[in-house]
Every structure is written in structure tokens, then in C-alpha cells.
Amino acid sequence: MVHYYRLELEVIGPVLTKSSLPGEPGLDAVALRDPDGALLLNGKHLEGRAKHAAYDLADLSGDTTLNLELWAKQAFGPDNPDTEEKRAQWEPQRGDITFEDLRCCSKNEINNPLPAGRDFRLQIDEKRGTGEDRMLAVFERAAAHGELLTFGGLVRMAVTGNTSKEDHAANLLRCLRWITSVGGEAGIGYGVLRGVRLQPCPTPLGAEGDPSAGSASVDIGITFTAPFCVAAPQLSQNIYEGLDTVPGNAIAGAIMRALQDVQPGHSVPCCPTLKLWFDKLRFRHAFPTNSASLARPMIVPLSWAYVEGHGQDGKDLERQFVEAALTPQPALFQLPGSVDLHAPKFVHDWKPKDETAAATLLKLTEVKRDLRTYTQIDRSTGVAMDEKLYSYELVRPEGLTWRSSLDLSVIEDPNTRKKLLEELKQLLNESPLLFGKTSARATLALTTGSAPALPKTLDAKPDLWIVLLLTPALLLDASSLVGAGREKLRSAYEELWSNVGSDPPNTKTGPLKLERYFTGQSLVGGNYLYRRFQDVTHKDYFPYLLTDAGSVFVLSSRPEDNAKAQSALQEVLNKGLPLPQWAKERFAREIQNVRLEGDDWRNCPFLPQNGYGEIAVNRQEQLHRLPEKLKIDAPSFPTVDV
């Protein structure tokens, strides 16, 4: 079962949890605050302090009846996070106890970021006893020395083992009372902990709304209560970049974590219908929107280009974004009133201002970010460990809602769908979902949705289809494309689309033919993905080669195959691009003596059920920017291959 407690700390000021945001000129350390100016104590900092206190008490007590070391492993994880104990099976391992940020709630004036006091610290040369050059640090003093501050927030406890919630609460209280100070600069008297209160409180609301009983599609609005980091593929060893979107597998993973956390407290199996169908459900990626908007936004297509021009007076004309998907390649573009032709500039040549202009045109929501930096502390010395500094890029959720949807069409019986949704709502209200590196809590609004319908064909070209990839997709085999040129890449995409709607499957007899494409590809891999999802005993390491979101494919069909083409595209709209046959064979492996195909969730993370390979067809946002719609000439010209 999951239980929530209200934690309040009485702290003698000043107290400093450092923020990575810039402060007033001259400040080296700025206090962490909410957007409204309230002082914060970082939840991960408190979790780390409580974890160290638990292991310290376990070392000192010698009381086997308390068994604090075993409890500490269950509550916070192993003492050393780099041990094989934590990574034995390369499965995610989380502690039972999670801290949210604690907010200062004692005095209104303390929450006012300006004006701030200053404290100074100077590093002294050990041999000379004098100040070292350029070693003066200036701290923001957000409260007076000796001032009593109260910080409050929620603590989540999941009772997953033999420990009861009372034992969890009692042991956590012991650990918190063992701590002498919180925040940074404890060595100069900051953040002295005076009192701790821990009281049970009601579980926060995790779900709202009431979708129609038996609905085959449910729209999901995700509202976060704190900044979060759903990390992108890690390019730097100590920086986790946060994604704007929340992938479908992150939503599914959060629900599975909730299932695991509530299961032990039930005398009968929890959510049997949800568990039975869980790996067949499709969670689409969640995109950020203004909270007042109900529509999922569109991504900028890679087939968009902007065109410049000069008028008769020599002045620059207003640039236009043009959809080049149906333009014969290559081509030059001439704006209305322009006296010259210009080559189009595609996404890869855009500057930040161009990206902003395209996002504004599509009414995409700007996402604000914070950077929080942490360091691993040596428990024996209390100082930062060498080479253990890392940062999270957090997405700020204020005023935003992330829009997703849940596809239940695989379940034909409306009564079964109704039962599944009832169980899902019950689960979310027993255990609100936690997301990302910071375990940010979220509320899900569930409303009745509708399956995407195939738009009408193009007026002048009814046998052409503009397919936009809304989310990344695993379409290409990285091992077979090593050193490949454009012809081999085109051949791989042609084979992919010829298999869509083919009968029998994977016989390249489908009704669709690839005409041209505008794509980007990204390699995604690393030690974790390799060991977690691939067969490390028999196969060489190869990263996944994903086709990027925003990629555009122009497909054609013969007039006699128009109905088959519509049916094939409707299938992909409803279910996403399926994993290619080579991937099903490549990633297949045995788990507990059972052979599982490569499209099983335990063997590959980039499945359509996880939101990957979602497409849109003939979007109006693209069709309205075709050259003829904007009265832009696009004459083609011959080229010579070199």
C-alpha cells in the first residue's frame, strides 16, 4: 500500500539549498525557490541525508531487533549505488520512501526574494593563515541568523516488504532526528535542525474525470505538481537532459510502479483486468500544451523550409515557411513580389529564432526549464566525492498540461474496458503516479477520446499521402546500415513502407510506395539499454537507430489500390507503425526459459504500445503551407551528381 505523510522541519536560519539559476550580481550561491519566491528544501537532498542517517544508525546501534540496515536498503536502496547489488539484473530499483520538495511556510516576508542579505566566506591558506586570492564566496542570506523557519511537504511511503507503515514512519523519524542540519554550508552554522514532525495525511488525488463507460479511446491530461526530468538519451556522463514530451513508456512505467506499490496490501489480486491487458494497451506520448487547450500539438515537420526574397525596391520580403513535401526535388522558390529565386532553408539550417517562429506558427507551447545540480556525499566524511557531480535539467510545469491518450481498441468487450478504467482510476487514487528522475507527482485527468480518423485525400493528387512521424520510431537496422549511403537508406525505407498493409505480412506487396522522404536519424544506446534489453551473451553491441520525430514520408498508391492504401494507413493511425520483422527476430531472447519475440516489452523499449511510431496523415497545418496555397513559385532545375 502507499501512504502519505506530512513532514515539517523547524530550522534555525539561515538555510541554503543552492539553486542553479543566476541571482543578483555578485552572488555565488542563490537560494532555491518556488516561482512565487518561497524558499525550498530540495527533496532529493533530504532523501540523501535520511539515507546516510539510516546507515549511520545501523552501524552504531548494534540492535538486531531494529535491523536498520535491512530497512535502509528497502527504504532508500543500497548504501553504495555503484555496487553490483543494485545493478544485478539491470532492473530499475527504487526505494520505498520518496520526498517531495519542502516549502517554507512560516513567514510571508521570508518568501520574498528581494532584498536579500549577504554572507561571506573566505578560504584560508593553511600554511600562511591568510586569505587566498579569488576565494571569496558570497551567499544569499534569505533569513536572518537565528530566525526560526518552518518547512513543510509530503513524504510518500510504499509498504512493499515486511515493514509496516508504522515501522517505516518510526524509523524515518529516528533518521530525521539524527540529522543535525539541512541544506548547504552546515560547517558555518547554516540550517540547524531544531524539530521534526511527521504526521499521516490523506493520499493526494491521482485521477479525475469520468470517461464514457466502454470507451475505446481515453484522452489523458497530465498535470505535474513539481518540476520533473524525464531524461533524454544521455550524451554527457553527468548531465541528464529533460525531454519536453513524456513518452508513452514513461506513463506505462509509472502505472506499473503504482501497481507494484499497492499490491502487497491487498488480500486479493489488485486490478486484475488492468494487469491482464496491460502489455497490449497503447499509451501515446504526452505533449505539453497550455492548460486551457485540449488538443495535442503538432511537431514541426522536417519537410518545412523557409524562403526569403527581395522586392523591387531591394528590401527583404517577409520570410515564409513552406511545405516542400510535394515539391519536385530539387527546386528554387520565389515569393510573391520577389524579383529573385532562393534556395529553401530546411530545419538543419535554422537558427534559434527560426525554430521559435515555426513553433509560434504551429502554436506550440514554450517549456521553461531549471537546472539542479547534485553531488554524491561521502558518508564517512560528509564532503562531496570526487567525480560524482551530476545535473538534472528539469521541466517546469506551471500553467501546462501534457496531453496523451490511451488506446483500448484491442479490447473488444465494452464491459471489460469499463472495468479496466474503473481499476485504473482506483489505482491512481491509491497511488498517484510518479515520473522521472525526481519522482515528480502528477494528477491524470481522464476524458472520453476518439480514435484518429484518416483525413480526406489531397484535392489535386488523391493518390498521394503526406505522412508525418509524430514520435520517434525504430524502423532501421543499425547493423545493416554501417557505412551505408543514400541509396541503401532509401531502399530500407522503401521496403518498410511496401510491407505496410501487405498480405501475407512482410511480403512487400503492400499498396503504398515511397516517393520521397525528409528524415533525421539518431543513434540511441548505452550500457543500460544494452544490458537491460539485449542478449549480451550471444550478440555484439549495436545501438538502436531511431527515425526522428518530425520526419515526413510522401507515399503514393495506384488508383485501383486506393481503398487498400486507406485501410493500411488507418491501421497505422490506430496502432502505430509496427516493429519491422528484422527487429522481432534480432531482439528475440529467452527470459526464464520462455522465448519472447523482439516486439515483447521486455526485449525492446521502442514499441508502438509505448507511443513510438505514431503518425499523422495529410495534416491541414502542412497542406495549408504548400507552395500553391501560398502563391509561391517553385520551379525545378537539373542537377548533376558528383
pLDDT in tens, 311-353: 888 788 888 899 999 887 788 888 888 888 888 899 989 998 9
Beta bridge pairs of residue 345? 306
Residue 72: per-residue pLDDT: 82
Q: Higher-confidence residue: 23 or 202?
A: 202
Rounded distance, CA 103 to CA 251, Å? 27
The H or E element containing residue 465 is strand 464-469
In this prediction, residue 91 has a pLDDT band, given cuts at 50, 70 and 90, of low
Q: Higher-confidence residue: 101 or 539?
A: 101
450 Cβ contact partners less than 8 Å away, ≥ 6 residues apart: 217
User: Taking Cα atoms as reference points, which of 124, 121, 155 lies closest to residue 41?
Assistant: 155
pLDDT(89) > 60: no
Neighbours of 559 (CB within 10 A): 7
CA atoms within 13 A on the CB side of 16: 25
State the pairing for strand pair 239-240/384-395. Answer: parallel
Contact yes or no for 462/574 (Cβ under 8 A): no
Bond preceding residue 14 cis, omega within 30 of 0:
yes
Rounded distance, CA 544 to CA 524, Å? 5
Mean pLDDT rounded to a whole number for the chain: 85
DSSP-derived 3-state class of residue 511: coil
Report, at the CATH architecture level, how domain 207-297+368-448 is classified: 2-Layer Sandwich (3.30)
- Sign of the dihedral through C-alpha 409, 410, 414, 416: negative
Bond preceding residue 202 cis, omega within 30 of 0:
no
Q: Higher-confidence residue: 599 or 117?
A: 599
User: Taking Cα atoms as reference points, which of 308, 309, 323 lies closest to residue 361?
Assistant: 323
Rounded distance, CA 394 to CA 243, Å? 9
In this prediction, residue 371 has a pLDDT band, given cuts at 50, 70 and 90, of confident
Beta bridge pairs of residue 323? 304
CA atoms within 13 A on the CB side of 7: 28
pLDDT(111) > 60: no
User: Taking Cα atoms as reference points, which of 26, 29, 42 lies closest to residue 372?
Assistant: 42
| 164-221 confidence digits (pLDDT tens) | 788 888 889 988 999 888 888 887 888 889 999 999 999 998 888 888 877 888 999 9
* pTM of the predicted model as reported, rounded to 2 decimal places: 0.89
Q: Which of 207-211, 531-535, 636-640 has the highest mean pLDDT?
A: 207-211
Rounded distance, CA 251 to CA 291, Å? 19
CA atoms within 13 A on the CB side of 216: 10
State the pairing for strand pair 440-448/513-518. Answer: unpaired
Neighbours of 26 (CB within 10 A): 7
Query: Considering the chain, what percentage of its residues have pLDDT values greater than 70?
Result: 92
The H or E element containing residue 364 is none
End-to-end alpha carbon distance in the chain: 67
By CB atoms closer than 10 A (0-12, 13-18, 19+), residue 596 is: middle
| 494-532 confidence digits (pLDDT tens) | 999 999 988 888 888 889 999 999 999 998 888 778 878
User: Taking Cα atoms as reference points, which of 395, 374, 356 lies closest to residue 243?
Assistant: 395
Residue 532: per-residue pLDDT: 80
Rounded distance, CA 11 to CA 181, Å? 8
Contact yes or no for 323/464 (Cβ under 8 A): no
- Using the structure block, give the residue that is written with the C-alpha cell 470507451: 215
- Using the structure block, give the residue that is written with the C-alpha cell 496523415: 617
Q: Where are the alpha helices (DSSP H) in 295-367?
A: 352-361
Rounded distance, CA 527 to CA 543, Å? 10
Cell matching residue 161: 516488504
Bond preceding residue 115 cis, omega within 30 of 0:
yes
36 Cβ contact partners less than 8 Å away, ≥ 6 residues apart: 111
Q: Where are the domains of the chain?
A: 2-201, 207-297+368-448, 464-618
In this prediction, residue 129 has a pLDDT band, given cuts at 50, 70 and 90, of confident
Output the CA–CA distances (angstroms, integers) from residue 179 to 38, 196, 378, in the order listed: 23, 10, 15
State the pairing for strand pair 102-104/117-124. Answer: unpaired
Contact yes or no for 248/282 (Cβ under 8 A): yes
Cell matching residue 472: 520517434
Rounded distance, CA 75 to CA 375, Å? 20
In this prediction, residue 162 has a pLDDT band, given cuts at 50, 70 and 90, of low
User: Taking Cα atoms as reference points, which of 123, 119, 164 lies closest to residue 138?
Assistant: 119
- Using the structure block, give the residue that is written with the C-alpha cell 499498396: 511
| 243-286 confidence digits (pLDDT tens) | 999 999 999 999 999 988 887 655 456 888 999 999 899 999 99
CA 288-290-293 angle, to 5 degrees, is 105
Residue 538: per-residue pLDDT: 64
